[in-house]
């Protein structure tokens, strides 16, 4: 186990102003607090935070981060408190340690819920200080290195979480070496047979390849030297998990892989990157469609490099990454690389990270996702948002928008701004109108068309690819539904007041206060969702509530009604799917707790009789179709027709000629000479329906055409 002075020396190697007193205090405090605690391996528990600190010294992080690594488990696993940490080490370190403390006493339904809550807390802490994430990643890396000591039934869960969350998070923050090691360790647990097979094949291949790598490296180096381009080359073998993913994605076996080995070419400056690429492409045959320029268009995690694949010596495929030393540091250490750069010598990792575009993007994403209420949805959306490769599209003004593969203009709109997504009604892709569900490809220019007052349909949640869009759509839908129930609540209160002939404005603020609601909106929402009846509001204001509606059926009780506009209403209104109501029908509303009001036609007497004993659920409603001249309403008709060829086509032609839509057709009975069929059609109103029925009755093949009344 590393000694106290050894830890200080490791930090002093890259930080001449190391705060030895801080590190010594943290070392001693953590060791004493963990005391005789043991890990599953039997080692002293203190060895774990010490190893986490060692990993972070390799990344050359600041004193506060190293101290946090030493202390990261003391609040969770010992009697240490946040107040004590603040007093001994300062509130900054106290906040970092608290951000790393797991949620251990949640009463949640499933493991995924718990993962979601832990991830939510971690990311909210990360939004304030990136060092929380760096310590957490190092913590997970050491836990994965010692996973063999964990009971078998826990290993798979930990490995899955590592593969789903922590390895991709390391990748999104640009810490590539850590991502690769986390994936490798998790892969060996989740797919042990495949991992062993690939490692065996790699071992066998090394014996066959022999000195080929050195030959390729020497050949490329000599070509660059001849062109006067100083460069450092290093060869590397792909990790087993990376090979496994490629085999699965391309549906090929190990023998068909031709790019297991890759080379990195490190040069002095950006111009030399392109010069080196020119030398390599003019010396060796390049593979078509295998060149990528991540220097001019960096990845979302700030990764920059040139990628190409060529046919090298002995006809071997060779993958090459060409980058500067600074780009290489970012590729390996991500946001932590800023601390290694000479310009960051006098600035903390927190300050440098906050200036990073990578971290700004992560904070913005976290802030959007953190509004999610459901832990499972949060967990899923976060994985969708953070852990995918990107496609690059542009706004009409040239702003670059990065999105995951399969993303649509809906996702693009929400990436631009939440309000743009919420009011989006259409789009143009490369100047042409396109459906909002069109998959985007890199290079597309996307123009979003918005309309003030528009709101996203709930169906968009299933169409969106990014977690950010899905979270925003759900939030907008919740707010829209709440507004609908608030409006319905006000309508129900007004309706009930009119029944009592109360003409003076009601003091709803007084009613809300009397009934224990925060404000009038909360009261109206409770009435709209049937949590409280409208009669209770009048009672709270001292109005005597007379007996309700007679139990012998529905009747219009007064001239005050709740206006019903049909589908797309600003009230939570639903039409009975069996007892279809269309404009022109007398209608009545039945309060459906939690859903709003279900509309029935008054001729649905048998169905309405079920509610006769619940007069408080009945609502006076009326049609309000202003501005809805083209609206269509679903209704069922029954047609008896001769069994002749083309009968259905003739019936359909009549319906279409009357400007109606056929939604569904079913054969209900078939006899020798005639058939009975049921059609669901969409009409404007009762007059429109009667016109269609009259036209159908005029056909020689039709014996009878009537409306279906259940």
Are 264 and 233 contacting, i.e. CB atoms less than 8 angstroms apart? Answer: yes
Alpha carbons 493 and 594: distance in angstroms, whole number: 17
- Helix (H, G, I), strand (E, B), or coil: what is residue 55? helix
Query: 166 and 28, same structural domain?
Result: yes
Q: Judge whether 476 lies within some domain.
A: no
Are 508 and 523 contacting, i.e. CB atoms less than 8 angstroms apart? Answer: yes
Task: Name the residue with higher pLDDT: 413 or 493.
Answer: 413
The CATH number that applies at residue 336 is 3.30.460.10
Query: 681 and 595, same structural domain?
Result: no
Domain count, the chain: 4
Query: 580 and 701, same structural domain?
Result: no
Query: 132 and 35, same structural domain?
Result: yes
Query: 31 and 139, same structural domain?
Result: yes
Query: 231 and 165, same structural domain?
Result: no
Q: Judge whether 323 lies within some domain.
A: yes
Query: 224 and 125, same structural domain?
Result: no
Catalytic residue from among 9, 43, 76, 84:
76
Last residue of a domain, one of 133, 162, 186: 186
For 423, residues 6+ apart whose C-beta sits below 8 A from its C-beta are 450, 451, 452, 453, 454, 455
Alpha carbons 420 and 118: distance in angstroms, whole number: 31
The CATH number that applies at residue 675 is 3.30.70.260
Instruction: Tell me, yes or no, if 592 is annotated catalytic.
Output: no
- The 10s digit of each residue's pLDDT in 106-155 is 333 345 555 566 666 666 666 667 788 889 899 999 999 999 999 888 89
Query: 641 and 611, same structural domain?
Result: no
Are 377 and 371 contacting, i.e. CB atoms less than 8 angstroms apart? Answer: no
Query: 163 and 48, same structural domain?
Result: yes
The CATH number that applies at residue 150 is 1.10.3210.10
The predicted pLDDT at position 458 comes to 85
Q: Judge whether 9 lies within some domain.
A: yes
The stretch 356-362 carries a mean pLDDT of 57
Q: Judge whether 399 lies within some domain.
A: no
The overall average pLDDT reported for the chain is 82
Answer positive or negative: Cα dihedral of 106, 108, 110, 113.
negative
Query: 694 and 596, same structural domain?
Result: no
Task: Name the residue with higher pLDDT: 316 or 461.
Answer: 461
> 398's torsion region: left (phi>0), alpha (psi -120 to 50) or beta?
left
Q: Judge whether 201 lies within some domain.
A: yes
The stretch 634-640 carries a mean pLDDT of 91
Of the segments 182-186, 470-474, 587-591, which one has the largest average pLDDT value? 182-186
Catalytic residue from among 9, 20, 77, 531:
77
Last residue of a domain, one of 169, 186, 203: 186
Q: How far is CA 366 from CA 136, 359, 360, 462, in A?
A: 16, 10, 10, 21
Q: Judge whether 423 lies within some domain.
A: no
- Tally Cβ neighbours within 10 Å of residue 616: 16
Q: Judge whether 136 lies within some domain.
A: yes
The stretch 186-212 carries a mean pLDDT of 85
The predicted pLDDT at position 145 comes to 95
Residue 683: both structure tokens together: 């009409």
Query: 200 and 139, same structural domain?
Result: no
What does the DSSP 8-state code read for residue 287? P
pLDDT of 402 > 80? The answer is no
The predicted pLDDT at position 427 comes to 95
- The 10s digit of each residue's pLDDT in 657-679 is 998 888 888 888 777 788 899 99
Q: Judge whether 156 lies within some domain.
A: yes
- Tally Cβ neighbours within 10 Å of residue 500: 14
Last residue of a domain, one of 342, 364, 397: 342
Instruction: Tell me, yes or no, if 160 is annotated catalytic.
Output: no
Domain that holds residue 600: 504-616
Alpha carbons 477 and 132: distance in angstroms, whole number: 33
Query: 289 and 149, same structural domain?
Result: no
The stretch 174-180 carries a mean pLDDT of 87
């Amino acid at each position: 186990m590393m000694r106290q002075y050894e830890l200080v020396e490791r930090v002093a190697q890259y930080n001449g102003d190391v705060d030895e007193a801080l590190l010594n205090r943290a070392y001693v405090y953590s060791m004493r607090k963990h005391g005789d605690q043991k890990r599953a391996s039997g080692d002293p528990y203190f060895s774990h935070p010490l190893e986490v600190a060692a990993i972070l010294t390799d990344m050359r992080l600041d004193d506060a981060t190293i101290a946090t690594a030493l202390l990261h488990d003391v609040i969770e696993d010992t009697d240490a408190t946040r107040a004590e940490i603040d007093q001994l080490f300062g509130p900054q370190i106290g906040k970092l340690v608290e951000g790393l403390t797991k949620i251990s006493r949640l009463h949640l339904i499933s493991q995924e819920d718990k993962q979601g809550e832990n991830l939510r807390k971690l990311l909210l802490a990360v939004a304030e200080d990136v060092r929380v994430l760096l310590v957490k990643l190092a913590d997970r890396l050491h836990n994965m290195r010692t996973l063999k000591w964990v009971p078998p039934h826990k290993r798979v869960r930990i490995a899955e979480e590592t593969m789903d969350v922590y390895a991709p998070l390391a990748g999104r923050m640009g810490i590539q070496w850590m991502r690769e090691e986390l994936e490798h360790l998790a892969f060996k647990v989740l797919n042990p047979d495949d991992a062993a097979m690939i490692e065996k094949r790699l071992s066998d291949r090394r014996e066959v390849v022999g000195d080929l790598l050195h030959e390729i490296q020497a050949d490329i180096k000599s070509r660059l030297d001849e062109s006067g381009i100083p460069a450092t080359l290093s060869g590397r073998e792909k990790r087993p998990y990376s090979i496994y993913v490629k085999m699965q994605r391309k549906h090929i076996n190990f023998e068909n892989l031709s790019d297991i080995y890759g080379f990195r070419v490190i040069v002095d400056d950006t111009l030399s990157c392109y010069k080196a690429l020119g030398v390599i492409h003019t010396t060796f045959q390049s593979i078509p469609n295998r060149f990528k320029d991540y220097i001019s268009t960096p990845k979302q995690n700030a990764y920059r490099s040139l990628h190409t694949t060529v046919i090298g010596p002995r006809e071997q495929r060779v993958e090459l990454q060409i980058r500067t030393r600074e780009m290489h540091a970012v590729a390996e250490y991500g946001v932590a690389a800023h601390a290694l750069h000479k310009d960051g010598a006098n600035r903390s990792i927190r300050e440098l990270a906050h200036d990073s575009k990578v971290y700004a993007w992560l904070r913005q994403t976290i802030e959007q996702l953190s509004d999610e209420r459901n832990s499972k949805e949060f967990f899923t959306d976060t994985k969708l948002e953070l852990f995918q490769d990107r496609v690059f599209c542009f706004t009409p003004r040239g702003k670059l928008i990065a999105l995951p593969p399969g993303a649509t203009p809906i996702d693009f709109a929400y990436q631009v701004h939440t309000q743009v997504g919420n009011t989006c009604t259409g789009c143009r892709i490369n100047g042409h109108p396109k459906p909002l569900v069109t998959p985007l490809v890199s290079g597309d220019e996307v123009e979003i068309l918005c309309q003030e007052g528009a709101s996203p349909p709930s169906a968009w949640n299933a169409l969106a690819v990014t977690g950010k869009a899905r979270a925003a759509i759900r939030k907008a839908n919740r707010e829209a539904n709440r507004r609908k129930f608030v409006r319905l609540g006000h309508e129900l209160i007004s309706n009930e007041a009119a029944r009592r002939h109360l003409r003076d404005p009601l003091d709803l603020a007084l009613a809300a206060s009397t009934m224990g609601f925060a404000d009038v909106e909360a009261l109206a929402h409770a009435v709209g969702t049937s949590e409280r009846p409208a009669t209770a509001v009048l009672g709270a204001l001292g109005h005597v509530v007379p007996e309700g509606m007679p139990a012998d059926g529905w009747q219009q009780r007064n001239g005050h009604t709740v206006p019903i506009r049909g589908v797309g209403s600003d009230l939570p209104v639903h039409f009975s799917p069996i007892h279809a109501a269309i404009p022109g029908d007398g209608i009545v509303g039945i309060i459906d707790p939690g859903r709003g009001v279900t509309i029935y036609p008054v001729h649905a007497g048998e169905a309405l009789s079920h509610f006769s004993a619940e007069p408080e659920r009945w609502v006076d409603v009326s049609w309000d179709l202003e501005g809805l001249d083209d609206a269509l309403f679903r209704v069922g008709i029954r047609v008896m027709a001769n069994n002749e060829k083309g009968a259905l086509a003739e019936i359909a032609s009549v319906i279409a000629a009357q400007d109606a839509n056929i939604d569904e057709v079913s054969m209900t009975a078939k006899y020798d000479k005639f058939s009975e069929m049921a059609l669901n059609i969409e009409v404007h109103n009762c007059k429109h329906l009667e016109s269609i029925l009259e036209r159908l009755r005029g056909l020689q093949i039709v014996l009878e055409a009537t409306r279906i009344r259940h």
